[in-house]
């Protein structure tokens, strides 16, 4: 008790003392001197199979880490894109002598970390347990079990992830930018698709393992409480007899930037923001004489919250939550990019501002204060990073892989702090292009395209897989006039759908729907009910046993969402969106209610089925793109947005397995994909015009 009293008094005295100190908060505190970096040279030796061993002793703490890096370089996969990553995931699914659950249990039992991937692996543990952790790492790499059930599971997860990103503007922009910059038939520009993943087999995984998991061109780095002699003994015992295919680092030809700056646009009708990426290809090996100056220049341009881009686009104009830039480095060509996710109506303005800041860097409009701040950030972050054993391991192997001088990291901060304003202007002019840049934009074309012309750059349109769209020029609304060889209108698509499910007159008779539903997720089954009644009353409840895990209700004026005991009322925006569906079969109202606007967007595909794409702008202003089968007229897919925790996220809804319900044909499998999560509902029983009353929505 006395000790607690003394501590409390000490705190009060400290607070009073601080209160008497006058601090001028209008001035930033001066940066301290650059920390002195002390990095030991690793002890290096090579095993007969080609594996290079590096040992960095540090007996400060009783802990050891081992990082294995297989330096295969960029791998071109072609029609099997996604294979190497999937193979890397399979390495963590157990070994020939230990199932995954037993392997994970063995790791947890000693409080270790063990991870495996297509580029190697990592093990970390207290010194007294490190031998066991390291041997688990070796077992995982040398003796993977590759169980078929795990392959099917991981393949399914991969496909779900791809679906979740189908309408993600940032994901699309990054994919298209790499594909156009490097060429999508190259290792640096190719990308994984549903088609390439669906074609993968377990035999493909086993073949990829033989080709790329090998001691050739591998670097095993030990950091921590271990001697070189002990590390050599461990490595020799675990990997000395390991053999594998000899790797050869690929030679990748240089790619040219565009002859002149261009805008490459991808239409994502459901995107609530436009993703903007401005940049160009650069060659920036780590032994580049401009390497350190270029890092500082990038920090000033877009490295953080005090950068030019952030202060301009967020603080000054309020276009975005943040804008950043990045410079790549390494033995192969890389990208310089300046990017931001901005409001759709401000994409043109934001693009102009990003270019303006790039030009400011090229013109040398950089203050000494900006330079000093950037140096201070590097001084602090670099020294802090040295506390991470994994970072130290990377530094050790980087020196060998990139042919760097031994003192590269010891003199790192000296070279950062030697950068001058004149250096910044020089490297900005060399690496940040003005006349041969690529501006990649993904977003809502109806809003963004009409304003892009004012920037003065040629505009090319691409689909989300980086295929050039060749067609009629954009109309005044900014959307490309679709080539309509079918001579079909939006109204005809809707009329055909209503006819396909039972006819307009039968649809008019439907005033309510009651359904018994189920949901299988994460190994659990949830049962529930869904009820709807005209004009727009909705209710859904899911239970696990007798416990309600989720409930949603809208009575036409107010509503709520409930998860477990937590209940949250609809916001004004959610109420407006809930009123968008004015009936059990909303398509009926698309052609009878003037509050809806429809546009035919041309043809598309869902899986292998040809579709008509229909844009519907709801009364709330929310946009949805619906795809109807050319063959059957049925709705197969819908892409829109969903409000989650105050933010709009892309939402995809798939409709399958249509079955007769009374006089109508309705889908019995409805899958919602949002925020990376796939939620598959099954309708076990559907009743029309029975089992629903006003009391269900109170």
**What CATH number is given to the structural domain containing 531?**
2.50.20.10
pLDDT at 482: 40
Q: What pLDDT score does 652 carry?
A: 85
Q: Would you say 69 and 214 are in contact if contact means Cβ atoms under 8 Å apart?
A: no
The predicted structure's pLDDT at residue 646: 54
Model pLDDT, residue 675: 60
In a domain, 363, yes or no: yes
Instruction: Using the CB atoms, write b or e for 34-65: b if 16+ within 10 Å.
Output: beebebeebbeeebebbbbbbbbbbeeeebbb
What's the helix, strand, coil split of the chain in %, to 5? 35, 30, 35
Residue 480 lies in a domain: no
- Does residue 322 share a domain with residue 220? no
530 and 437 in a common domain: no
Residue with tokens 């979740």: 164
Strands 262-267 and 459-462: parallel
Per-residue model confidence (pLDDT) at position 484: 43
Do residues 401 and 435 share a domain?
yes
| 402/550 same-domain check | no
Q: What is the C-alpha separation between 656 and 152, in angstroms, rounded? A: 22
d(CA 186, CA 174): 15
Question: Is residue 447 included in any domain, yes or no?
Answer: yes
User: Residue 395: CB partners within 8 Å, gap ≥ 6?
Assistant: 39, 409
Residue 427 lies in a domain: yes
* pTM confidence score: 0.71
Tens digits of residue pLDDT in 133-182: 999 999 999 999 999 999 999 999 999 889 888 889 999 999 999 999 99
Is 123 in contact with 107 (CB distance < 8 Å)?
Answer: no
Query: Within this chain, do residues 496 and 407 fall inside the same structural domain, yes or no?
Result: no
**Residues 125 and 198 both lie in one domain:** yes
Q: Please state, in angstroms and rounded to a whole number, the distance separating the CA atoms of residues 442 and 88.
A: 30
Sign of CA dihedral 561, 680, 202, 72: negative
Domains identified in the chain, total number: 3
Q: What is the CATH number of the domain that holds 428?
A: 3.30.830.10
pLDDT at site 2: 34
H or E segment at 54? strand 52-57
pLDDT in tens, 5-60: 333 323 333 333 333 334 454 555 555 556 666 777 899 999 999 999 999 999 99
The domain of 682 spans 490-697
Where is the domain boundary, 442, 462, 482?
462
pLDDT by 10-residue block (mean), the chain, 698 residues = 32 34 50 64 94 94 96 96 97 96 97 97 97 97 97 94 88 96 96 96 97 97 96 97 95 94 93 94 96 97 95 93 95 96 93 95 96 93 78 89 92 94 97 95 91 88 92 43 57 94 94 93 84 92 88 92 86 88 90 86 85 90 90 92 62 92 94 78 94 91
CA dist., res. 218 & res. 234, Å (int): 16
Structure tokens at 304: 């953080």
Domain assignment of residue 23, yes or no:
no
Close Cβ partners of 265 (under 8 Å, ≥ 6 residues apart): 441, 442, 445, 448, 449, 452, 459, 460, 461, 462
pLDDT of residue 19: 36
Bridge pairing between strands 52-57 and 218-224 = parallel
Look at phi and psi of residue 587 and say left if phi exceeds 0, alpha if psi is from -120 to 50, else beta.
alpha
Give the start-end residues of each E strand in 62-150.
Answer: 63-70, 94-95, 98-99, 113-117, 120-126
Q: Is residue 279 part of a domain?
A: yes
How high is the pLDDT of residue 363?
A: 95
Residues 337 and 450 in one domain: yes
pLDDT score, position 35: 61
228 and 284 assigned to the same domain: no
Is 483 part of a structural domain of the chain?
no
- Residue with structure tokens 């000054």? 316
- Sign of the CA dihedral with 534 first, then 538, 541, and 542 last: positive
Residue 277 sits in the same domain as residue 415: yes
The confidence score (pLDDT) of residue 37 equals: 66
Residues 519 and 372 grouped into a single domain = no
Cα–Cα distance between 657 and 655 in angstroms, integer?
7
User: Does 316 map to a domain?
Assistant: yes
> What single DSSP character describes residue 227?
-
Q: Are strands 609-617 and 597-606 parallel, antiparallel or unpaired?
A: antiparallel
Residue with tokens 């490309």, as numbered in its chain = 480
234 and 298 assigned to the same domain = no
Q: Do residues 345 and 204 both lie within one domain? A: no
Boundary (domain end) residue, out of 445, 462, 479: 462
């Amino acid at each position: 008790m006395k000790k607690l009293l003394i501590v409390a008094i000490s705190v009060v005295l400290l607070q009073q003392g601080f209160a008497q100190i006058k601090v001028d908060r209008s001035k930033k505190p001066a940066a301290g001197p650059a920390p002195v970096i002390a990095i030991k040279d690793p002890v290096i030796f090579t095993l007969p199979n080609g594996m290079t061993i590096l040992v960095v002793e540090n007996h400060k703490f009783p802990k050891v880490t081992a990082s294995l890096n297989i330096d295969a370089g960029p791998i071109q996969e072609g029609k099997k894109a996604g294979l190497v990553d999937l193979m890397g995931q399979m390495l963590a699914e157990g070994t020939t002598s230990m199932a995954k659950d037993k392997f994970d249990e063995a790791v947890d039992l000693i409080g270790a970390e063990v991870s495996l991937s297509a580029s190697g692996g990592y093990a970390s543990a207290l010194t007294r347990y490190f031998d066991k952790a390291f041997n688990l790492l070796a077992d995982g790499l040398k003796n993977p079990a590759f169980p078929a059930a795990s392959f099917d599971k991981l393949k399914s997860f991969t496909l779900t992830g791809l679906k979740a990103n189908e309408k993600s503007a940032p994901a699309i922009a990054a994919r298209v930018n790499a594909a156009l910059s490097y060429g999508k038939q190259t290792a640096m520009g190719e990308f994984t698709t549903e088609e390439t993943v669906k074609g993968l087999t377990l035999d493909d995984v086993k073949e990829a393992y033989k080709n790329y998991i090998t001691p050739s061109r591998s670097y095993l780095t030990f950091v921590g409480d271990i001697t070189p002699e002990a590390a050599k003994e461990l490595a020799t015992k675990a990997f000395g007899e390991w053999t594998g295919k000899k790797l050869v680092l690929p030679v990748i030809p240089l790619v040219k930037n565009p002859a002149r700056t261009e805008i490459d646009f991808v239409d994502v009708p459901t995107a609530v923001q436009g993703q903007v990426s401005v940049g160009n290809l650069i060659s920036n090996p780590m032994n580049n004489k401009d390497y350190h100056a270029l890092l500082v220049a990038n920090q000033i341009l877009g490295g953080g919250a005090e950068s030019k881009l952030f202060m301009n686009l967020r603080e000054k104009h309020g276009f975005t939550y943040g804008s950043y830039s990045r410079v790549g480095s390494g033995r192969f060509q890389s990208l310089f990019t300046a990017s931001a996710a901005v409001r759709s109506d401000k994409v043109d303005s934001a693009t102009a501002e990003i270019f303006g800041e790039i030009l400011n860097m090229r013109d040398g409009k950089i203050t000494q204060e900006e330079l000093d701040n950037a140096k201070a950030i590097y001084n602090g972050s670099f020294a802090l990073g040295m506390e991470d054993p994994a970072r130290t391991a990377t530094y050790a192997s980087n020196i060998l892989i990139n042919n760097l001088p031994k003192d590269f990291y010891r003199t790192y901060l000296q070279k950062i702090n030697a950068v001058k304003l004149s250096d910044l202007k020089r490297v900005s002019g060399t690496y940040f292009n003005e006349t041969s840049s690529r501006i990649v934009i993904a977003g809502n074309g109806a809003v963004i395209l009409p304003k892009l012309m004012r920037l003065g750059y040629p505009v090319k349109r691409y689909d989300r897989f980086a295929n050039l769209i060749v067609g009629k020029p954009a109309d005044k609304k900014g959307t490309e006039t679709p080539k309509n060889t079918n001579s079909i209108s939006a109204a005809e698509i809707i009329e055909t759908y209503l006819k396909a499910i039972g006819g307009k007159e039968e649809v008019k008779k439907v005033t309510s729907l009651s359904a018994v539903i189920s949901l299988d997720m994460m190994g659990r089954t949830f049962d529930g009910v869904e009820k709807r009644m005209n004009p727009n009353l909705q209710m859904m409840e899911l239970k696990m046993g007798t416990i309600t895990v989720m409930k949603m209700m809208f009575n036409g004026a107010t509503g709520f969402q409930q998860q477990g005991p937590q209940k949250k009322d609809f916001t004004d925006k959610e109420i407006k969106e809930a009123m968008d569906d004015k009936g059990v079969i909303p398509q009926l109202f698309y052609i009878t209610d003037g509050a809806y606007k429809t546009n035919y967007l041309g043809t598309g595909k869902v899986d292998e089925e040809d579709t008509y794409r229909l844009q519907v702008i709801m009364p709330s202003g929310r946009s949805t793109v619906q795809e109807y089968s050319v063959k059957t007229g049925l709705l197969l897919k819908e892409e829109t947005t969903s409000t989650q925790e105050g933010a709009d996220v892309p939402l995809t809804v798939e409709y399958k397995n249509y079955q007769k319900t009374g006089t109508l044909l309705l889908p019995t499998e409805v899958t919602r994909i949002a925020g990376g999560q796939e939620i598959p509902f099954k309708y076990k029983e559907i009743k029309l015009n029975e089992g629903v009353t006003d009391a269900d929505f109170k």
